[in-house]
Structure 1
Amino acid sequence: MSELRFDDEVVVVTGAGRGVGRSHALSFAARGARVVVADLGVQVDGSAPSSDPADEVVGEIRAHGGEAIACYGSVADEESAAAIVAAAVDTYGRIDAVVNNAGLGLGGLFADTDPGQFRTLMDVHYFGTINVTRAAWPHFVRANHGRVVNTVSEVMLGGLPGVTPYGSAKCAIFGFTRTLAVEAVAHGIAVNAIAPRAYTRMSASQADQMAANLAPPDGATANLASAMVPDQCAPAAVFLAHRTCPLNGEVLQVGLGGIARIAVVRSPGIWRSSLTAEDIAANLDEIGGIGDAQELPAVPTW
C-alpha cells in the first residue's frame, strides 16, 4: 500500500524530547508532518526542567528538512497544556492530531508510597492527557476531523510489582480513551491508545522484571532490554494518528517488532433467578472461563 503521509498536517507530541516521544516526533516529521515538540525536559521524578530535550529534537527535525517548533510547558497545568495547542494553531494554522505521551516514572511498593505520588502521576499522565485533548477538541470538532493517540501501559492490567501508582494512572487513561471514543464518532474524531514496550529512562528500574514478563512468544530473552528500542513503538502512533485509520476506542500493544490488540471481554458467566454467594463459590470455573467470552468494544469498529 502507499505510504501513510502527513503532508501539511500538524501533529502535537507531548513528552517528545526523549525516548518514545522523540521517536514519535521524528517519525511524523519524516512523513511530512509539521510537529509541535512539547517537553518539559524533566527527570523521571519531575525535577530539573530544561528546554534542551525539546530543542534538540526540533533541531534534528529541521536538520533533515522538516518543520517543527518546541514547547516547554507542563501538561499537568491546564493553561500550559492549552498553550501547547495554541502554539500549533498560531504557528501553522491548524491541528490534526495529538499524541499524549508525556509522563513520569515514579513507582514503588504500595506500602512505601504516599498519596502524593499517586496525585503527581495522575496530574501528569491522566490530567495531562485530558488537558491537551480538551484544548485540541474544539479545533477537531470544527474541522470534523482529528486524531487523539493516548499512551497507556500493559502494567495497568497487573503483572509487575512496584508500579501501582504508575499503573493506576495509565488505567485511568485507558478508561478515558474508551469512553471519549464514543463521543468522538459524531465529530469525525478517533481516540485510541498505544501500550509501548520500550526500554527508556522510566522503565529502567523494572528492566529485569520486564525482561522476564515481556519475553516474545518464541521464548527469546537474551538482552531483551536492548531490543526494546523506542523506535519500534512509533509505527503504531503513526498509524493511529493518520486520517485513514478506521479504529476508535482501541489499544494497540507495540514493541519488540510486534503489535497486538488489547481487548476487553466478559465471560458467559452463570445466571440464577436468585443468585447467592454460595452459587458464586461453587461455580468459579464457569464464571471465570473465557472460552466463549464476549468482547465489549468501546465502539463497534473492529
Structure 2
Amino acid sequence: MTLLGVKRGSIFSPNHIGNDEAIFNLTISELEKLGHQVTVCTENEFLTMSEVNEEFIFTMAREKDVILKLQVLERSGKTIINSGFGIENCFRNNMTNALIKANVPYPKSKITTTDAPAEDLFQDLPGDGFWIKRGDFHAIHKEDVTYVESEEQGRYILKEFSLRGIPNALISQNLLGDLVKFYGIRGSEFFYLFYPYDHNHHKYAEYEQTNGKTFHYPFDQELLKNVANTAAEALNIFVYGGDAIVSKDGTFRIIDFNDWPSFAPCRAQAAPYIAQCLIENFTLKVDERI
C-alpha cells in the first residue's frame, strides 16, 4: 500500500516540536516494517501539490488551509486519518459542543464572543475561578488557555483575545481534583494514562499551582478508556489524547481532547498500534470497493 503522510507544522507543536516529530517518524517506521511505502510532506508542501495521487493519507496537520484541502480530498473519496473533519471537530468550541452532545462528562462551560461578552456571562458558573480558553482553534500560545480568579480578570482576558483577533472563547468552571493525561487509539487495546504533576511536566505548572498536589484518587480507569473512545468517535478521530480531572469521589470529567498528540511518555508502545489502526482502516476501504 502506498501512503502519504502529512507532518504537523512547528507552530502547532508548542513545546512539543521534537515529540510530535518523534511519534510521526516512529509510525512511519512501523508502516514500513509492515511493507508499506510512505511518502512524507510538510503542511506547506501539501498545500502546493496540484495533485495528490495517494488514496490513503495519514496526518498530524493543524493548519486551517491544510484541513480544508484534506476535507476536499475526503469528499472526493480519499481516506484520511485523522479525518480533516475530525481535526476541525477538535477545535475548542467544536469539541465542547460535540462532547456535550455525546454525553461525555465535561465541566460546566459557556461559549462567548470576545468583543461583546454578555453581562451575566460569569454568574452561574460554579466554584472558584475560571478557565478562559481560545475557542476558534487549538491553543498555540501559553496565553490561549488562562486561569482567572475573578470576573474582572476574565473580561480583561476576553478583551486581550479580541485584540489578538480571536473571535470567540470558552469559559469553563475550575475543577478540583487530580489531573490525568491519557492517550489512546480508537478501535485498539491501547490506552495509556499518567499523572503529569508526578513527572514535573512543565506544561502543567499553572494547573498544579491552581489545583494543588496530586492525591491519586481512585477511579475506574476502564470507564475512562470507554468514555475517551466514545469522545473520539463523537469527534470522528482515531488517534487521540486528552486530559481529565478526577474528583475526590472518583468521578471524572474530560477537560481537553486532541487529535494525534505527541504520545511523549509512551510513543514506542503506541506507534505499532497507530500503524495497525491506519492499515486496518485503509484496508477496510479497499475491501468496500471490491
Q: TM-score, normalised by structure 2?
A: 0.32
Structure with the largest fraction of strand: 2
- Bigger relative contact order (CA 8 A; separation at least 6): 2
